[in-house]
Structure 1
Amino acid sequence: MAIMKPPVLSEFSKQYSTRMVTAFRYGSLAIAGIGLIQAVIFALIGSWLVVAMEVAVFIAGIAIYILIRRGHLAFGVLAGQAALMVIAIAMGLLLDVPTSETPRISHLYLLVLAALGYLNYQRENSRAQLALIGLCLLSFIVLSSAHLTSPYVVLPEMVHTIGTWANAFMATTMLAACIHAMQAEFTRKDKFSRDLMDALWRGEFHLVYQPQVDVSKNTIGAEALLRWNSPQRGLVSPVEFIPQAEKLGLMVAIGSWVLERGCLTLAEWGETPHLRHLTLSINVSTSQLMHEDFETFVRGTLAKTHADPQRLVLELTESVMVTDIELVIAKLNALREMGITIALDDFGTGYSSLSYLRRLPIQQIKIDRSFVQDAVNSSGSASLVKNIVAMTRDLERTVLAEGVETVEQHDLLAEFGCIEFQGYLYGKPMALAEFEERNMGS
C-alpha cells in the first residue's frame, strides 16, 4: 500500500522522537539510582521494609531501561508507571505517614506519574494509559486528603523530616522535567506540522517504485511509495509523517498529488513499448476515498494525464470497512466503471470478513507480509496462507503476496497457487529512472 506502508521500524521509533527515547532512558536510570541510594541509606538505619520498597524502585527503573533498550518503549513506560504507582501508594500508606511535625509528601510522585502518563498518551492513545492516569490522580487525592496512618513502620522523626524535604525536592524536580518534556514535545510537533504542511507546496515529496512480479519473476507492475525528503530533517519515515498528515487533514491533498504523479507516470509508460504492459498500484487513504469529490477528481486526472485506467490499481486498507459500507461500495463501483482495478491491502490484519469481501467490488487481495514471512517457519501460518489463496481464487479475485524476501517463500507461495508477488526478493523501492531502466529490456 503506497502511502500507508513504510519500511518496518522498531516500535518506539514509530511513535517517539530520538530525544524522547533518550529522555525516557535516562529517566529510568535516574529512578533506579534514587532507589538504590535510598536503599543503602535505610539499610544503614535498619529500616528493612523501606529498603525492600527502595529495592523495588531500583528493579522497576532497571526493568524500564531494559525494555526501552530492546525497543519496547510504550510497554516499558506503561509497565513502569504501574509498578511505580503501586510503590508510591505503598510508601504513602506504610512509610510516609503524616505527623504533627511533617506532612505526607511521597504522594507527589503520583503527580509525576500522571504527567508522564499524559505525555505518553499524547504519543499513543491507550485506554490502559488513560486508566493509569486516572488511578494516579485518584490516589493522589486520597493520600493528600485522608489522615491515614500505619502501625507497621515508625521512622525516627529526623529521618522522616529529611525524607520529607528530599522527596519534595526530587518530586518537584521530576515534575518540572516532565513539564519541560511536554513543552519540548509540543513545540517539536508544532514545528513538524508546519514543515509537513509546507512540504507539499515546496515539492519535497517524491515517489519510489517497488516491482511486482509474476510466478516466473517477470515484472508485471510496480507499487508507488510516498517519501518525504525534508531539507531540514532529511528523509522522514512515512510512519512518522503519515499519521500526522491524517490528523492535520492533509491526506486528501497529498493523496491527490500521489495519484496525479502516478497517472502521469502510467501515461508515459503507455507510450513506451517495453513498459506499456505494466500496472501501477497507488494507495488511497480512507479520508481520500470518502471525500465527496474523489470520483470526480480521479476521472478528471485520468482525462488530463491520458493514463490507461485498465493499468491503474487503487489500494485500500481494511479500515474502509468501519466507515459507511454502502457509500464505500457505491464509490468503488464508480471507480470500477472507469476501468480501475481495486485492491485490498494488508489482508488479514484488520476488519476483513467474507461478507464484506463478497459485497465489495474488489479484484485483488494482497496478503500481509506478516503471514508471508511466517509461512515458511510455521505450519499454522502456511495453512492460513494456503486457505487465503484458495478462498481468494474461489471468490474470483487475484491474490498478491507482499513482503517476499527469500526464494523459499516464493516457491511455497507459488505452490499454494499465488501468481503475483512483491518484496525485497524482486527489488527494493527505487527511483523511477532505475525502475524503468531495469525493465526496458524485458
Structure 2
Amino acid sequence: MATSKPQVSPELSKHYSARMVAVFRYGSLAIAGIGFIQAVIFAALGSWVVVAMELSAFVGGLAIYFLIRRGHLAFGILAGQAALMAIAITMGLILDVPTADAPRISHLYLLVLAALGYLNYQRGKSRAQLVLIGLCLLAFIVLASAPLTSPFVVLPDMARTIGTWANAVMATTLLAVCIHAMQAEFNRKDKFSRDLMTALWNDEFQLAYQPQVDLSQNTIGAEALLRWNSPKRGAVSPVEFIPQAEELGLMVAIGGWVLEQGCRTLAEWSKNPLFRHLSLSINVSASQLMHRDFEAFVRDTLVKTRANPHRLILELTESVLVTDIDLVIAKLDGLRELGITIALDDFGTGYSSLSYLRRLPIQQVKIDRSFVQDAVNSSVSASLVKNVVLMSRDLGHTVLAEGVETIEQHALLARFGCIEFQGYFYGKPMALADFEQRIEARIKRLA
C-alpha cells in the first residue's frame, strides 16, 4: 500500500519494534560482558586458549551491538548468531568437554541463539535465519547427546566447577529473557492486530498527498499516501502497520478504502478548473491485484464516485512479478481497458527485467529513490538512471523519478530525459486542503 517511502536502512524497514531492538541490543552487550568476565577469570588461571575463546565472544557481542546501533539490525543479528554459534560449538568440542565431575554446559548457549533467531525470524522471514536456527538446534542435540571429549585442553577442576555453575546460570537467565521477549512480542502483535482492525472500522486512516511535477515544477498530480493516526498510538508509520495488515489479510479492505477515497478526490477535482488536469497515483498491493474481485471493485468504484479513469494511476511494486505473470498481465489489460494508467513502482529494486518491461501492459516507470539519490555522486548510478530513462522511453513508457531532494538531482534527471518528478524537493506529503492551496497559490503567483 502507499507509504511516504521514508529513508530508512533496509534492516530497520523490516518493522522491528522498539522492544525487539532493545532485546537484541542489550542481549549482545550481555554476551560481550559474559565473554569479558570469563576471559579475565581464565586469564588469572593461566588458561590462555580459553581466554582467546572468551575474547572472541566478547568481540562478537560488541560487533553485534555496534551493527545494531548503526541501523544494520538484521545483518548484525545474522552475522552475530553465526559467529557465536561457531564459538559455542568450538568450546563444546574442545574446552567444555564432559567429565566425571562436571557435565558439558556451554551448549546451552545454542538454545539462547536459537531463541534469538526465532524472534528475528518472526520479524522478517529469512532462509538464512531459518538455517541458523536449525544448525543451532542440531548442534545442541549433538553436544547434549554425544559424549565427545578432547585431549587438547584440560581445565583445572575448580575452573570447571565454577564455570559449570556460572554458565548454567547465565545461559538459563538469557533463555528466560528470550522467552519473556517472545511472549511480550506475541502480545504486542496481537494487540496491534486488534487496533489495526479497529482502525479500519473507526475511520482512523487518512490520505496524504505528495506532489508530482513536470520539468517546470508545475504540479501535474499527486501520489496518495496512507496514514494511520491512532487515538492510542498516535501517528503510526506505514513501515510498521502495512506489513502487519498484509499478514492479517486486511490489505484488500484497506486498499479498497484508499482507492475509493482517491477516486472521490479525483471526482471533486474534475469539478474545479484549477484541479481537473491533475492525476492521482494510488499504490496497489499484490494481494489486492490478485484478488478475484479486484477488477470489478475498481469498475464499480469508478462508477460510484464518477471519477475520471484517465486521471487514475495504479502503482504496482515489483513484488507482483513473483506471482503468476500471465494472470497479472490479464488483470492489467482489464484495468487498462477502463482507461486507467498502470505504473511500475520502485523500478530496479526487485525482480524487474527488460523482458517484464516489454510484456507488462504498463505506461509509466517510477525510478526508485535509491538510484536517484546516488546519481549525482556515482557515475555508475547515473549511467543506470540514464539507461532506464532511455529504455523506458523506447518502450513508450513515461518515466517519473522518485525521491528527488536537490536541484542538482532535478537538473541531472532532466538532462537524461526524465520529465516527471516526485520528492521532498517539490513538497512533502500533506493534507488534501494544503495540497490544493499550494496549487492555488502557485497559480496566483504566476497570474
Q: Give the TM interval when normalised to the shorter protein.
A: over 0.9
Q: Which residue of 2 aligns with 1:378?
A: 378
CA distance in 2, matches of 1:127, 1:331: 31
1:241 aligns to 2:234 (yes or no): no
Aligned to 2:81: 81
1:410 matched residue in structure 2: 410
Q: Deviations over 1:117-158 (max 9, x none)?
A: 111111121121111111111111111111111112212222
2:102 corresponding residue in structure 1: 102
Secondary structure (helix, strand or coil) at the match of 2:243 reads: helix
Displacement of 1:296 after TM fit?
Answer: 1.2
Contact 1:365 1:398 in 2 (8 A): yes
Give the number of aligned pairs.
441
- In structure 2, relative to structure 1, the CA distance for the partners of 1:4 and 1:351 (3 Å cut) is farther
Give, in whole Å, the separation in 2 of the partners of 1:106 and 1:397.
60
How far apart are the structure 2 equivalents of 1:370 and 1:50? Answer: 46
Q: Conserved in 2, the CA contact under 8 Å of 1:275 and 1:440?
A: no
Please give the residue correspondences for 1:201-280 in structure 2 after superposition, counting only pairs within 5 Å: 201-280=201-280
Residue in structure 2 matched with residue 55 of structure 1 by the alignment: 55
Correspondence for 1:432: 432
The equivalent residue for 1:341 is 341
Secondary structure of 1:440's counterpart equals helix
CA distance in 2, matches of 1:308, 1:207: 19
- The letter of the residue matching 2:267 is A
| Cα distance, 1:404 vs structure 2 | 0.8
Take 1:117 and 1:351, find their aligned partners in 2: how far apart are those partners? 27
Per-residue displacement from partner, 1:270-329 (whole Å, max 9, x unpaired)?
A: 111111111111111111111111111111111111111111111111222222222222
SS at the partner of 1:361? coil
Range moving further from structure 2, 94-103 or 177-186: 94-103
Which stretch shows the higher mean deviation, 291-300 or 319-328? Answer: 319-328
Using structure 1 for the length normalisation, give the TM-score.
0.97
Question: Could you tell me which residue of structure 1 aligns to residue 148 of structure 2?
Answer: 148
Deviation at 1:12, TM superposition (A): 4.6
* Structure 1 counterpart of 2:400: 400
Q: Distance in 2 between matches of 1:89 and 1:122?
A: 25
* Range 95-104 or range 203-212, more displaced: 95-104
Residues 21-36 of structure 1 aligned to structure 2 (within 5 Å): 21-36=21-36
Q: Say whether the 8 Å CA contact 2:208–2:432 is kept in structure 1.
A: yes
CA distance in 1, matches of 2:19, 2:355: 46
Q: CA deviation at 1:167?
A: 1.1
Matches within 5 A, 1:282-431: 282-431=282-431
- For structure 2, which runs of at least 5 residues remain unmatched after alignment? none
Structure 1 counterpart of 2:72: 72
In structure 2, give the amino acid aligned to 1:394.
D
**Conserved? CA contact 1:215–1:420, under 8 Å:** yes
Residue aligned with 2:32, SS? helix
Paired residue type of 1:50: V
CA distance, structure 2, for counterparts of residue 154 and residue 439 of structure 1: 79
The code of the aligned residue for 1:330 comes to A
Q: Which residue identity does 1:42 align to in structure 2?
A: F
Specify which structure has the bigger relative contact order, considering alpha-carbon pairs within 8 angstroms and separated by 6 or more residues: 1
Task: Report the 3-state secondary structure (helix = DSSP H, G, I; strand = E; otherwise coil) of the residue aligned with 1:313.
Answer: strand
d(CA) in 2 for partners of 1:83, 1:322: 33
Structure 1: how far apart are the matches of 2:365 and 2:241?
A: 26
- Distance of 1:322 and 1:138 partners within structure 2: 33
Matched residue of 2:244: which SS?
A: helix
Cα drift, residue 10 of structure 1? 3.5
The whole-number CA distance in structure 1 between the counterparts of 2:67 and 2:196 is 31
AA of the residue aligned to 1:247: E
Greater displacement, 148-157 / 226-235: 148-157
1:137-176 equivalences under 5 Å are 137-176=137-176
Asked if 2 retains the 8 angstrom alpha-carbon contact of 1:369 and 1:402, the reply is yes
> What one-letter code is carried by the residue in structure 1 that aligns with 2:120?
N
Which range is displaced more, 352-361 or 192-201? 352-361
One-letter code aligned to 1:140: F
Determine the C-alpha separation between the residues in 2 that align with 1:80 and 1:361. 45
Q: Residue 342 of structure 1 aligns to which amino acid in structure 2?
A: I
Distance 1:76 1:172 in 2: 23
Of 429-438 and 22-31, deviating more is 22-31
Amino acid at match of 1:120: N
Q: CA deviation at 1:4?
A: 5.0
2:9 matched residue in structure 1: 10
- Indicate conservation of the 8 Å contact 1:286/1:320, yes or no: yes
Partner of 1:277, secondary structure, is coil
- 1:133 maps to 133
In structure 2, give the amino acid aligned to 1:6: K
Q: What percentage of aligned pairs have identical amino acids?
A: 78
SS of the equivalent of 2:343 reads strand
Q: Structure 1 CA distance, aligned partners of 2:348 and 2:5? A: 18
Question: Following the alignment from structure 1 to structure 2, what is the Cα–Cα distance between the partners of residues 324 and 11?
Answer: 27
Distance in 1 (CA, whole Å) between partners of 2:97 and 2:184 is: 36
Quote the Cα distance in structure 1 between the aligned partners of 2:343 and 2:190.
35
Provide the rounded CA distance (Å) in 2 between the counterparts of 1:87 and 1:359: 50
User: Structure 1: which 5+ residue stretches go unaligned?
Assistant: none
Could you say what the CA RMSD is over the residues aligned between the two structures, in angstroms? 1.3
C-alpha distance in 2, partners of 1:383/1:423?
21
1:8-45 alpha-carbon deviations (Å, 9 max, x no partner): 22345432111111122211111111111111111111
Deviations 1:231-271 (A, max 9, x none): 11111111111111111111110000000000001111111
The one-letter code sitting in structure 2 at the alignment partner of 1:251 is M
Higher deviation after alignment, 180-189 or 343-352: 343-352
Residue 432 of structure 1 and its aligned partner are, at CA, apart by 0.4
Provide TM-score, normalisation by structure 2.
0.96
Q: Is the 8 A contact 1:6 1:237 kept in 2?
A: no
Displacement of 1:163: 1.3
How far, CA to CA, are the matches of 1:401 and 1:159 in structure 2?
A: 64
